[in-house]
Amino acid sequence: MSAVDVHAEQILLTPTEALAAVTAWELQGTLLALALRRIETSGVFGVDGSVSMKAWLRDQARMTDQTAGDLLATGRFLDNNTAFAQAAVSGQLSGGQVTVARRLGKPKYAALLAEQQHDLVETLAALDINDTLTSVSHWKTRADAVLDEGQPPIEQPCELTLARTLDNRLHGHLSLHDAAATELEKAIQNAQAWEGKDDTRTVAERQGDALYDIAAFFNGNHDSDGTPRHLPHVTISADITTIITNTPQATNDDTGRPMSPACTATYLCDCKIHVILRDANGTPQTFGDTTYSVPRSLFRQVAARDGGCRFPGCNRPVRWTDAHHIKYWEHGGPTDYDNLLLLCRRHHTYVHSQLLDLTLLPGATAHFTWTDGRERTSHPRGAPPTRPPG
């Protein structure tokens, strides 16, 4: 039985009743946004030690950063533009229209919007959501022309907002000027890879994977402080008692967020390791010396054999790759030539998340087996030595 069936008596609404419920819900959302704005300006959210309204909503209301940010942005916009607040409370403007109008809530437009907000609200009140988008865009274009008249050209800012959702995925909004947009479009185009007839990814998925690869490539090749091979300086904390299983548990020290077992296992394959011994109360007692999972010289030997990512169909070169332990390091797998294989970061994580079984056959052929029984192989692209280095 579906949730609709279970709650049928509570949700039996006609289309007219459903629209009325949406209107009431949007009104409550508007009032809530203004109420949160009042709490924010009073500063009373800090009585329990919270450093911001977003942090308070995250801790006290179990709200995601994205949801909290949207509510707070709406409250700030309505507080600064009373004509929009009155129209939202009275129902002249929908919640969606207010969200679109929020794009004008930048300091650059503050004075001009204060003068014209009543006329703009009157115009938007008669429009549907698509025409509202067009009208707000036209107002912004005209405002830019007025404000920039006689002024030297100003470099348009690049903006990126990111937030993790409850399923630990990263969502965001991107706004780039033409030059930056051109660079990103070209980078995505260059980084996209087609992995042969077995590649069933959509265009959106291929572009998302390309962005993943670009970030991993930069982290693996930057010239600032890092490991000898400039491995990404992502710091995680893990309990040794959990990493000997297939579900290692760790926390990203930069964000305080738990990491997925597959992501944790990927980093454990090829990383710097510090050992911290703690007493029974969890207090650190000893900080051990750094060790390297894969020494630099051994990585080069494996790279000379593999020539790049060994996942079937992938053509990423060596500089995009990590060293993967075929028998996991945390399960006692040795860090030696015959137990290592190069994988790009995306396929490295994929191998761990899908629990693929890998075997290195004679001639350095890599044999991949999926849990459903599918099998694929790949051959080294380097010049494999006739015998292991010794």
Q: What's the mean pLDDT in 302-310?
A: 91
pLDDT tens digits, residue range 181-200? 888 888 888 888 877 777 88
Task: Say which DSSP state 8 is in.
Answer: H
Q: Are residues 250 and 343 in the same domain?
A: yes
321: phi then psi, degrees, rounded to nearest 5: -110, 160
The rounded distance, in Å, linking the Cα atoms of 118 and 295 is: 67
Q: Are residues 205 and 122 in the same domain?
A: no
Q: Give, in order, the Cα–Cα distances in Å from 146 to each of 47, 142, 177, 178, 208.
A: 44, 6, 20, 21, 38
pLDDT tens digits, residue range 130-175? 999 999 999 988 888 888 766 555 556 788 888 877 777 888 888 8
Could you tell me which residues come within 8 angstroms of residue 194 by beta carbon, excluding any fewer than 6 positions away?
A: 206
Q: Are residues 92 and 219 in the same domain?
A: no
Quote the mean pLDDT of the chain: 82
Q: Is residue 87 part of a domain?
A: yes
Q: Is residue 156 part of a domain?
A: no
Which candidate, 196, 216, 194, places its Cα nearest to that of 205?
A: 194
Q: Is residue 41 part of a domain?
A: yes
Q: Are residues 224 and 142 in the same domain?
A: no
The tally of domains found in the chain comes to 2
Percent of the chain having pLDDT more than 70?
83
Q: Are residues 329 and 214 in the same domain?
A: yes
Q: What's the mean pLDDT in 212-225?
A: 77
The DSSP code sequence of 208-237 is: HHHHHHHHHHHHHH-SSS--TT------EE
- The last residue of a domain, from among 109, 133, 148: 148
pLDDT tens digits, residue range 334-350? 888 999 999 988 889 88
Q: What's the mean pLDDT in 212-220?
A: 83
Q: Which pLDDT does position 125 carry in this prediction?
A: 94
Query: What domain range includes position 232?
Result: 197-390
Q: Is residue 57 part of a domain?
A: yes
Q: Is residue 281 part of a domain?
A: yes
* The dihedral formed by the CA atoms of 203, 206, 207 and 208, expressed in degrees to the nearest 10: 120
Q: Which pLDDT does position 149 carry in this prediction?
A: 67
Q: Are residues 213 and 358 in the same domain?
A: yes
Q: Is pLDDT larger for residue 266 or for residue 130? A: 130
The total number of residues shown for the chain amounts to 390
Would you say 323 and 294 are in contact if contact means Cβ atoms under 8 Å apart?
A: yes
Q: Is residue 189 part of a domain?
A: no
Q: Are residues 141 and 224 in the same domain?
A: no
Which candidate, 240, 238, 292, 242, places its Cα nearest to that of 269?
A: 292
Could you tell me the two tokens for 184? 């990103």
